[in-house]
Amino acid sequence: MPGMKVVLAGAGDFSVAWGKRLRERDDVDLVGWVSRTGSRAAQRAQDSGFPGIYTGEDLASALALLKPDFVIDVTPPEVHHEVTLTALRAGVAVLGEKPMAASMAQAREMVHASEDAGKLYMVSQSRRYDPRLAAFRKLIDQIGPPGMLYADFFIGAHFGGFREQMDHILLIEMAIHTFDAARYLTGADPVSVVCEEFNPAWSWFQAGASVHALFEMTGGLRFNYRGCWCADGKMTPWESEWRAVGPQGTALWDGVSSPQGAVVFGPDGFHSVTRDRSEAPGEGPWGISGALDDFLHALSSGSTPMGECHDNIKSLAMVYGAIEAAESGRRVDLSGWIS
């Protein structure tokens, strides 16, 4: 039985991973691969095991000819706006890579296009699809609504190339994963942010390799992010190291193993009595496989997936709000950034 028809937009390195996932499934049918360099799309299709499918440079032409059920957008962030609007205005759903857009203005236009078309637009926040993160959220639920959440990210990332010349490199390229995870873990949304962005003297990046950001979130939660991309030795995992503190105890996750915590059992003089708790990760697809599962289920059932554009724009607002706070040196109110 034929699966849903999909066109893949973009032929960069990450498109190979998406091509592999599509090839593994029998409920989707990759019918086209487009890129501004059509010959590169053709080569990617050939190398990924899709010889003979449609390849070309123009997405609008591909949509008109192939009439797919959805588009997967793996183009660079500055092209997401164009690809998403082209697909949605053609009546085609979109599963896009993070970050949603190169600006908040573009992101708002993309959300409105989804509303106008009545079609799903979801952003693949792939690191949400991690059973260990889900287990940490369950443990956080046991300590009550957290009032404090901390995430530490320290990696020595020797990328080379264009990334080392980018402005706001950590905030734009990586921090959205951690910011989005904070929203997933707590169910809270951003209210305001103060942020300091700086470059250590030894940094091999042009600017912005280190960030300290403090977000006020709904419910009074404070989310504290400390990150650095020029921190060699004793590095944290890419998933960060986490601490959540609530009225009934503390939950920890080292980004690798099962989350651990201590839940308040009762008073005992100076310190409360606590009992240790752990939460074993369950089963489930990881990364972009999980995002694709979620998207396809939403298309067939009408449910709302994680990363749906009305929700994901809130994570994007945390990134651009932090950038504005760092540039201006003042607290930035995020309450009006979404609509």
Separation CA 3–CA 28 (nearest Å): 4
- Residue 336 is predicted with a pLDDT of 86
User: Residue 208 — left, alpha, or beta (φ > 0 → left; ψ -120 to 50 → alpha)?
Assistant: left
Residue 145 preceded by cis peptide, ω within 30: no
- The CA R_g of the chain, rounded to the nearest whole Å, is 21
Q: Which residues are 9's β-sheet partners?
A: 34, 73
Separation CA 309–CA 305 (nearest Å): 9
- Residue 51 is predicted with a pLDDT of 92
Q: Which residues are 193's β-sheet partners?
A: 215, 332
- Residue 214 is predicted with a pLDDT of 98
Q: What is the DSSP string of 168-192?
A: THHIIIIIHHHHHHHHHHH---EEE
Q: Considering only CA atoms, which of 237, 231, 214, 268 is closest in space to residue 136?
A: 237
- Residue 192 is predicted with a pLDDT of 98
Q: Name all domains of the chain by residue range, CATH numbers in brackets.
A: 4-119 (3.40.50.720), 130-283+317-333 (3.30.360.10)
Q: What is the DSSP string of 237-248?
A: PTT-EEEEEETT
* Amino acid sitting at position 294: D
In tens digits, the chain (339 residues) has pLDDT values of 468 999 999 999 889 999 999 999 999 999 999 999 878 999 999 999 999 999 999 999 999 999 999 999 999 999 999 999 999 999 999 999 999 999 999 999 999 999 999 999 999 999 999 999 999 999 999 999 999 999 999 999 999 988 899 899 999 989 999 999 999 999 999 999 999 999 999 999 999 999 999 999 999 999 999 999 999 999 999 999 999 999 999 999 999 999 999 999 887 778 899 999 999 999 988 999 999 999 999 999 999 999 999 999 999 999 999 999 999 999 999 988 886
- Residue 318 is predicted with a pLDDT of 97
- Residue 338 is predicted with a pLDDT of 81
Burial class of residue 190 in the structure, from the number of CB atoms within 10 Å of its CB (0-12 exposed, 13-18 middle, 19+ buried):
buried
- Residue 337 is predicted with a pLDDT of 85
